[in-house]
Amino acid sequence: MSEPWEDDELDGPVRKFMYVNRRAPYGTIYALESLEVVLIAAAFEQDVTLVFMDDGVYQIKKGQDTGAIGVKNFSPTYRALEGYDVEKLYVEKESLESRGLTTDDLVVPVQVVNNDQLAELMEEQEVILSF
């Protein structure tokens, strides 16, 4: 049963929403609260694109263990995105490489794009939310 505040009825066109994740998963709450936005937003059947860049690439790194800092490891939730039809995931090449990571290190399949391609992708969006 959904809560009353989740019953928002929406009219209007489908828009291109991009969520840009730029920060490390822990240390601040931005990554977790960004994921909450994406999960809620998925219910509104918009055209959703997720980008991971800068330290945001660490959000989807495999093998996260948060036991020592007493914070919930929410990285498994990224694997559930596909079930919400959130399938357009992009990682900025420069951010990934400068941190010594490859796509094998990530918990979800992504498309790797360079800085210029990402700029083009951003150009196509109607709403960009950056966290």
The one segment of 2-10, 51-59, 75-83, 95-103 that binds another protein by CB under 8 A: 2-10
Written as six digits, the tokens of 27 are 């240390």
65-76 in b/e form (b: 16+ CB < 10 A) is: eeeeeeeeebbe
Q: With binding defined as CB under 8 A, does residue 123 bind another protein?
A: no
Q: With binding defined as CB under 8 A, does residue 6 bind another protein?
A: yes
CB 25 within 8 A of CB 58: yes
CB 62 within 8 A of CB 105: yes
The one segment of 4-12, 52-60, 63-71, 73-81 that binds another protein by CB under 8 A: 4-12
Q: With binding defined as CB under 8 A, does residue 46 bind another protein?
A: yes
Closest by Cα among 130, 22, 105, 36 to 77: 36
Give the interface with another protein as residue ranges (CB under 8 A). 3, 5-6, 8, 10, 12-13, 15, 17, 29-30, 33, 36-37, 40-41, 43-44, 46, 126-127, 129-131
